Amino acid sequence: MKERVGIVGIGVTGFNSVSPSLSFKELTYTAAVKAYGEAGLHPKQIDSFITASEDFMEGYSIFDEYVPDQMGAVMRPVHTVTADFLQALGVGCMMINTGRFTTIAVEAHSKASNVKTLDEVQAFALDPVYLRPLKENAKFVAGLEMKCFLEMTGNTEEQCARVVVKNKKNSQKNPNAAYGAELSVDDVLNSEPISTPLKRLDVSERADGAIMVVLASEAEARALCKNPIWIDGIAWFSGNGNLWSRNIAEADYARLAMRKACSMAGISDPRKELHFAEICDEYSYKELQHLEALGLARKGEAGYLTESGVTSLDGDFPVNPSGGSLGVGHTFEASGGMKLYEAVLQLRNQAGARQVKDAKRCLVQSWRGVPTATGAVAILSNE
Amino acid sequence: MKIEKVPMKGLTSEEYEKALKISWKPKLQYAWDNGIAIGKYLQGLKEGKLLASCCNRCGRIMLPVRSFCELCWRPTDGEIAVNDTGVVNTFAICHVNWDASRLKPDEPRHIPAVIEIDGASKGQGIMHVLGNVDPAKVKIGMKVKAVWKPVAERVGSIDDIRFFEPY
């Protein structure tokens, strides 16, 4: 990266299945107060503000008009990135790299519990001519991806179930997580089929919550903060948007974003140079598929790495120490943010019972969910 | 496709019926959490009161209720009931409905207005509609008062006030 960008403040609310006691504005405000407090900044000292949100998830058109109050951004420059939090974070880094901005605040939140027709919103993302007339629940996309991925790589349904068991176990040690559980592989394998081979427990459940991050230029980050966490590389890519002609077995977007982010960060052997990863596990198989696309496992090896404990909290290369979307809850546009928060805690040595030893460098990865082929990767370090 | 082959006009109903097409009606439903501030404000309306929040730092009395002062960036310091009277700050006379259909000549015009509420800080207004008034006689600066629904009909909504009328 031309110049590194530092994270000088971060705040989250807990993640919960519902959050009736706070409006979406109050939810974001709660996270923002923590982030600005850590950064030691009044919002008036922040140069620009970004929110990652999707109008259909909010139930408002032009949702960006409803965000300034709770970010402390009244009469200030604000814009929305309609994508995952990590993509908004990338935009913030680019703004700082222009030299025109010193500090940027980036926010994302989920009030998924307020969307009463979540499956309809997902269906609305399907192509109106070629897909919607089939009238399938949008999760069929995950089912056919999973089928193709398992068939092409030799990974198994049982190995996918092990991802669920591992992540729900990790999240028991995460006070912010909503879906911690002690499950067996059989519990997962015997859960109701959704879109075979996808079963109920392979699917993460929705959660509400907010995250706010304050970014600063390298010089400003050093002045503001004793232990800034550095963004060494960040990138996002889209694969083929057409479901019927894309490389369904492999997550091209993750492979491409990883290559770019690693080249920005000067990383040539990610498995050796990185110490853990927070990656998208919205569905169990996605963790395995992403591990292989990111080059952290060879083709067909991700399931074995899970089975043999390499990706466990005490393994050689922990994956989703937070518990991931399966354990913490799936927060839609805020998903990359929830995972970034874990990465920052780990790199600051503040992750408590789930602390990864000697964690100095890691990657965070997000995916936009079905039916997309879009995702982002960020490489972070603490030195 | 040659451009001259494209009919440069809208389709007739008959042509539309024959055209190849796909339609989709999204079913989008939300139930937004009120949280602290909106919850208090709506409860106030149900009880026939307009509640405002106070910020002890900037001294503003703000409508509607908010749980934090967005300018001072700190929690607000409680709520007070302000008057249900105010002054028209600006207004529009609408000749079309919500769905863009035209009002018939004999139907009353809608008059949405920003009303600066007495007892709140200068510039602190709410949006509502004016009623019981000849549109031609509405003026900026006009004094108006809330006309409430009977207690039994109030549900905790801004509709609990039917409209504001001159007094």
Give the helix ranges, DSSP H, for A5-156.
24-39, 55-58, 68-71, 85-97, 118-123, 140-153
Our CA dihedral for A256, A261, A264, A267, rounded to 10 degrees, sits at -100
CA proximity to A288, closest of A302, A278, A304: A302
Q: Round to whole Å and give the CA distance between A211 and A339.
A: 10
- Confidence (pLDDT) at A350: 97
**pLDDT, chain B, mean:** 94
Residues of B in contact with A33 (CB under 8 A): 73
How many angstroms separate the CA of residue A125 from the nearest CA in chain B? 11
Nearest chain A residue (CA) to B35: A22
Percent of chain A having pLDDT more than 90?
Answer: 96
* Mean pLDDT computed over A4-20: 97
Token representation of residue A141: 């996309």
Q: Round to whole Å and give the CA distance between A13 and A7.
A: 18
* Mean pLDDT computed over A81-110: 98
Label residue A1 by pLDDT band (50, 70, 90).
low
Residues of B in contact with A74 (CB under 8 A): 70-71
Residues of A in contact with B37 (CB under 8 A): 23, 25-26
Q: What pLDDT, in 10s, does the model give residues A57-77?
A: 999 999 999 999 999 999 999
Judge whether residue A46 has pLDDT over 90. yes
DSSP letters for A224-272: H-SSPEEEEEEEEEE--S-GGGS--SS-HHHHHHHHHHHHHHT-S-HHH
Q: What pLDDT, in 10s, does the model give residues A142-176?
A: 999 999 999 999 999 999 999 999 999 999 999 99
Q: Return the ∠ at Cα A81 (arms to A76 and A86), rounded to 5°.
A: 110
- Confidence (pLDDT) at B127: 97
Nearest chain B residue (CA) to A126: B24
* Mean pLDDT computed over A294-303: 97
Of A36, A59, A124, the CB nearest to B32: A59
Predicted-complex ipTM score: 0.92
Q: Round to whole Å and give the CA distance between B11 and B13.
A: 6
- Confidence (pLDDT) at B9: 78
Q: Round to whole Å and give the CA distance between B159 and B128.
A: 9
Residues of A in contact with B32 (CB under 8 A): 23-24, 59, 111, 114
How many angstroms separate the CA of residue A149 from the nearest CA in chain B? 31
Asked if A124's CB is within 8 angstroms of B68's CB, the reply is no
Please state the separation of Cα A225 from the chain's center in Å. 25
Token representation of residue A350: 């503040």
- Confidence (pLDDT) at B7: 63
Query: φ, ψ for residue A231 (rounded to 5)?
Result: -95, 105
Q: Where are the domains of chain B?
A: 25-166
Domains, chain A = 5-117+207-229 (3.40.47.10), 138-205+231-381 (3.40.47.10)
- Confidence (pLDDT) at A256: 97
H-run or E-run covering A292: helix A284-293
- Confidence (pLDDT) at B11: 83
Q: Return the ∠ at Cα A120 (arms to A114 and A124), rounded to 5°.
A: 120
Which strands sit side by side in the sheet containing B161-166, from one edge to the other?
B125-129, B112-117, B85-91, B143-148, B161-166
How many angstroms separate the CA of residue A225 from the nearest CA in chain B? 21
Q: Is A136 exposed, middle or buried (0-12, 13-18, 19+ CB in 10 A)?
A: middle
Q: Which residues contact A136 (CB under 8 A, 6 or more apart)?
A: none
Q: What pLDDT, in 10s, does the model give residues A195-253?
A: 999 999 999 999 999 999 999 999 999 999 999 999 999 999 999 888 889 999 999 99
CA proximity to B146, closest of B130, B124, B125, B123: B130
Query: φ, ψ for residue A224 (rounded to 5)?
Result: -85, -25
- Confidence (pLDDT) at A310: 98
* Mean pLDDT computed over A282-307: 98
What distance separates the 2 farthest-apart alpha carbons in chain A? 57
Q: Could you tell me which residues of chain B have a Cβ less than 8 Å from any Cβ in chain A?
A: 22, 24, 26-38, 66-68, 70-71, 73
* Mean pLDDT computed over A250-266: 97
Q: Which residues contact A122 (CB under 8 A, 6 or more apart)?
A: A137, A138, A139, A369, A370
Q: Round to whole Å and give the CA distance between A45 and A43.
A: 5
Q: Which of B13 and B154 is assigned the larger pLDDT?
A: B154
- Confidence (pLDDT) at B3: 61
Q: Round to whole Å and give the CA distance between A110 and A205.
A: 12
Asked if A26's CB is within 8 angstroms of B22's CB, the reply is no
* Mean pLDDT computed over A126-153: 94
Label residue B136 by pLDDT band (50, 70, 90).
very high
Asked if B22's CB is within 8 angstroms of A132's CB, the reply is yes
Q: Which residues contact A106 (CB under 8 A, 6 or more apart)?
A: A49, A50, A51, A52, A85, A88, A89, A91, A92, A212, A213, A215
Percent of chain A having pLDDT more than 70?
Answer: 99
Neighbours of A124 (CB within 10 A): 16
Examine residue B108 and say whether the peptide bond preceding it is cis (omega within 30 degrees of 0). no
Judge whether residue A33 has pLDDT over 60. yes
Judge whether residue B1 has pLDDT over 90. no
Q: Which residues contact A237 (CB under 8 A, 6 or more apart)?
A: A252, A253, A254, A256, A257, A260, A374, A375
Of A19, A43, A121, the CB nearest to B28: A121
Q: Round to whole Å and give the CA distance between B165 and A124.
A: 44
Cβ(A295)–Cβ(A255) below 8 Å: yes
Asked if B22's CB is within 8 angstroms of A128's CB, the reply is yes
H-run or E-run covering A374: strand A374-381
- Confidence (pLDDT) at B15: 87
Q: What residues form DSSP beta bridges with A229? A: A7
